Amino acid sequence: RSMVTTRSMAAKAALNESEDDHDSTTSSSSSHTKAEVVEEEPLDSTSEEDESEGEDVIQIPFPLQMPKSLSPSSAAEFKNCPQSYFFQYILKIKQPTTEALAKGTMCHTALEQLFDLKPADRTLETLHNLMRKAWAEARDAEPYNILFKTDNGAEDDERDLEAERKWGTEALRLLSNYFKLEDPRHVKPDPVRREMWVKANLTTNYDASSSANSDDGDDDDVFLMRGIIDRLDLTRLANGDVGLRVTDYKTGKAPNFKYSRAMNKKIADEAMWQLKIYALLLREMNAAKVNGRSNNGGEDIPGVDLRMLRLLYLNSVSGQGQYLDFDLGETQEERDVVLNDVHSELSDIWRNIRELVNAQDPTLFEHCDRKFCFCHKLRPKFEKGTVFER
């Protein structure tokens, strides 16, 4: 019953006011650039460059330790490239920041702060100034102080100010796209929650007939899943009822549905996976509250059915903003089918990670074939044969 719909900026004007208002084909995790959950603070890699003369070889610490939790980004990383997951979440080697990641973080910061203001003050000029202020405060501090360097050989390279200006102009363009998609002055009511932590203990021996959230049982059968939701909104549904909607900002390009029906569905499902995890965690937090169990310190949630998921893309192949909606289903039974599938997949991921860690063999974490992946940049820094290599 669940369905996916897209609406462009032109169609936005036709919406009822009561609604309150991969590269394109790649996984959405690559374009989501707000601060992501990291199980523990990772260490910086020894260098941003590929293997070079005289560089120290990265030593693998044994015994390998299991991570303390999963987040949507770490789970997606394991799905896409187990070796990249191993580097980042087992060895805790942090990827150097990029201009794209910095742009996403600054845009997210500006959009969050915009809703601290009264509706009448949420103008486009204010949004742009919030982004400028966020960057001015962050640009000279880690990890952003390495960006836009001229690399002229000096000990303290100067910044390429022209490149930085172009980057800033592009960030402002994305925020202008947002404003065309959704005028924040007319978002009524205000978002129920912003930058909301959601987390739940999920079971690996999952039984769809019982609650997924468990504070009981063997530690090996339970894992912590957590993340941060950009916005939780109240929205008017097609039948006139009011429901909750998870809204997530994306500064990467919206998926380009130009393929077969089956491929387009696969692309949409991959894009929505992160938001389905959030919906699952919200369901489990509510179940814990109803049953008198701990909700792991999460925030209280309004007693309204969570029905809709929205990816709000600030860019697309056309250069315009676009949003992608997903209806979890009219009934709780329909919604549970979708969310139980997500829980089952997360359980499989956690079990696979546990099996690999228990084997204590880094060569079992296979790398992917995506040219842009972190695994290819870092792998040459390990002694040959100590990590997987085709």
* 42 — pLDDT class (breaks 50, 70, 90): very low
**pLDDT tens across 361-376, in order?**
999 999 999 999 999 9
Residue 307 lies in a domain: yes
Average pLDDT across the chain, whole number: 84
d(CA 13, CA 291): 43
Residue 238 lies in a domain: yes
Q: What is the pLDDT of residue 326?
A: 97
pLDDT at position 15 over 60 = no
Residue for token pair 């998926």: 255
Could you tell me which residue, 40 or 167, shows the higher pLDDT? 167
Residue 303 lies in a domain: yes
Q: Which of 149-158, 183-192, 215-224 has the lowest mean pLDDT?
A: 149-158
Residue 259 lies in a domain: yes
d(CA 81, CA 52): 24
**pLDDT tens across 189-212, in order?**
999 999 999 999 999 976 555 544
Please say whether the beta carbons of 13 and 330 come within 8 A: no
Could you tell me which residue, 26 or 84, shows the higher pLDDT? 84
Tell me the CA distances in angstroms from 191 to 141, 151, 221, 353, one per residue in order: 31, 44, 35, 36
pLDDT at position 218 over 90 = no
Residue for token pair 């937090």: 285
Q: Total structural domains in the chain?
A: 1
pLDDT at position 46 over 90 = no
pLDDT at position 9 over 80 = no
Residue 169 lies in a domain: no
Residue 33 lies in a domain: no
Q: To 5 degrees, how large is the angle CA 311–CA 169–CA 318?
A: 45
pLDDT at position 2 over 50 = no
Residue 113 lies in a domain: no
**pLDDT tens across 233-259, in order?**
999 998 889 999 999 999 999 999 999
**pLDDT tens across 72-127, in order?**
999 999 999 999 999 999 999 999 999 999 999 999 999 999 999 999 999 999 99
Residue 128 lies in a domain: no
State the residue range of the domain holding 217.
189-359
Q: What value does the mean pLDDT take over residues 272-299?
A: 82
Tokens of 50: 């590929």
